[in-house]
Amino acid sequence: MSRAAKPGDAQFYARTGPHNVSTLAQLIGAVLAGPDKSITGVAPLQSAGPGDVSFLDNRRYADLLEATKAGAVIIHPDFQARVPAGCTAIMTPEPYLGWAKISAHFHPPSQSRATIHQSSIVDGSAKIDPSIEIGAGTVIGARVEIGAGSVIGPLVVIEDGVVIGKNCRIHAHVTISHAILGNQVVIYPGARIGQDGFGFAITKTGFVPVPQLGRVMIGDGAEIGANTTIDRGSAQDTVIGPGVHIDNLVQIAHNVNIGSHTVIVAQVGISGSTTIGPQVMIGGQAGLVGHLNIGQGARIGAQSGVMADVAAGDHVMGTPAQSSKAFFREVAILRKLVRVWRTVLNSEPKIED
């Protein structure tokens, strides 16, 4: 069955509005150029209609701006001259940020319905704010605390003693143990939080498990992606700082400490007791050995193998990881060597039988 290409299908997403363009501009602190009008939704440049607001953040798509049928468009002031007649320009130095805020204004996160499904199991000692929502088949253990406005999805298991703050979203099939979550934390489906860390004492006859006696501490506004796993600490806590965004399928080992507003892309693995500063960016499939220090604002490229500390602000790539400048210099040298080898090979005289 075919459906319109516009985002925000009412079958899946809540919608507010209509909203005046002047209201949207005020929301993001933008300047208007063009008439005020009523807007009913958001859409990409190529599919937007007169009732939609769209955006341009990449000059590669400026041709789409000139052809758009959108009623309003969020742009950098440099593109005002390319806005078609009849389309109101919402001008801001950060169009993509403006798009994010306006999209969320039209399609806010779903609110708690203040219901507890009859198939859920809630221990009598749990402190559950009456405003929260608990989905079908969910299990809430003893002494659990859940703050106002939180939504706990279906088939979630929250084990004894866990604390969850206000306005959190815990999606389906999540398990949480030995953890304390701040406010507005989002955990996506299938994530595993607080299980034993991978710690053993090695003997001549085998491995002896080391008790994992720490917790997982997750700061306000953090987001944990689907099927990500975060082990609890051994003798100290595993810490996920405020505003950290972790993608799907990430493994975080025991005692890792991640600073605020760090971004970790899918399939990253971080070994135990590594400390990561604030505002770090780690590309997909990167691997970090244990007991490292990654400085504030560092950048780690995709598929990097990080085996040594990374200083604040450094950008590293490759395996073993090195500075991005050195990495690209070596790639360039290898390409030149290949060209030379091909030239020599083609210039050698051929021997006839």
- Segment holding 345, helix H or strand E: helix 324-347
- Segment holding 281, helix H or strand E: strand 281-282
Place of tokens 């007649």: 85
DSSP assigned state of 81: G
Task: Say how far residue 349 (Cα) sits from the centre of its chain.
Answer: 58
Question: Of 144, 150, 158, whose CA–CA distance to 130 is shortest?
Answer: 150
Q: Give the contacts of 329 (CB within 8 A, at least 6 positions apart).
A: none
Instruction: Write phi, then psi, for 336 (nearest 5 degrees).
Output: -65, -40
Q: Contact at 8 Å (CB) between 141 and 158?
A: yes
Q: Contact at 8 Å (CB) between 174 and 210?
A: no
* DSSP secondary structure, 287-322, as one string: EE-SS-EE-TT-EE-TT-EE-S-B-TT-EEETTTTE
Q: Which of 107, 254, 261, 291 is catalytic?
A: 254
Q: Contact at 8 Å (CB) between 159 and 143?
A: no
Q: Contact at 8 Å (CB) between 244 and 226?
A: no
CA dihedral for 33, 39, 45, 47, sign (positive or negative): negative
Distance set, CA 269 to CA 46, 130, 189, 227 (Å) = 38, 38, 19, 13
Question: Is the backbone of residue 267 left (phi > 0), alpha (psi -120 to 50) or beta?
Answer: left
Distance set, CA 296 to CA 108, 268, 286, 346 (Å) = 32, 18, 17, 50
Quick check: is 105 catalytic? no
Instruction: Write phi, then psi, for 131 (nearest 5 degrees).
Output: -85, -5
Tokens of 185: 């934390």
Catalogue the active-site residues: 254
